[in-house]
Amino acid sequence: MNDKNYKLRLSINGVEIEAFGDKDFVERNFGNLKSEYLGKENKKSSVKNNATNLTDKNISLIDFVNSKKPKDKATELMPVLVYYAKHYEDAEQFNEDDIRNLYRRYDISKRPKNIYQAIIDISRNKGYFESVLKSAGYFRLTEAGEHFVEVKLIIKE
């Protein structure tokens, strides 16, 4: 019987992975832990790359929306339109008329019948918008809405 214990330690980006035990156990589990951790790190960096791909300030509204491929005219498209207005046109808050104008610019005739109600529904159900205090009828994009547009919607490569 082998009484020797082995210990392997790896430190990457402030995270330390350590395995201690018999040789077979250490080699098997250390490799699994390392590949699992490195796989998560690669996913995080690809999410950062997707977010940084959106920094081209010269992109048109149509190109931006097409790059995100929203499936629904209200639930997915409206946050994309608002994201574009916020990040590319410096519009921190919006109202029903602003959304209507964004739909017109994107040339969508089939927009929600009641845009204000669609904003309210998206706010309640998805949490992508929130009311602006002391500005009746105005909303802003939440962090959840930004995350949805930046990470959850597909970017065409």
Predicted confidence (pLDDT) per residue in 102-151, tens digit: 888 887 767 888 999 999 999 999 999 999 988 889 999 999 999 999 98
Q: At the topology level of CATH, where does 56-152 sit? A: Arc Repressor Mutant, subunit A (1.10.10)
Averaged pLDDT score across all residues of the chain:
79
Tokens of 111: 């927009």
Q: How far apart are CA 143 and CA 146, in angstroms?
A: 5
CB 130 within 8 A of CB 142: yes
Three-state SS at 18: strand
Tokens of 144: 């959840």
The DSSP letter of residue 56 is -
pLDDT of 111 reads 80
pLDDT of 40 reads 56
> In the chain, where does the domain assigned CATH 1.10.10.10 lie?
56-152
The whole-number average pLDDT for the span 11-34 is: 70
pLDDT of 3 reads 59
The whole-number average pLDDT for the span 48-57 is: 49
The whole-number average pLDDT for the span 61-85 is: 88
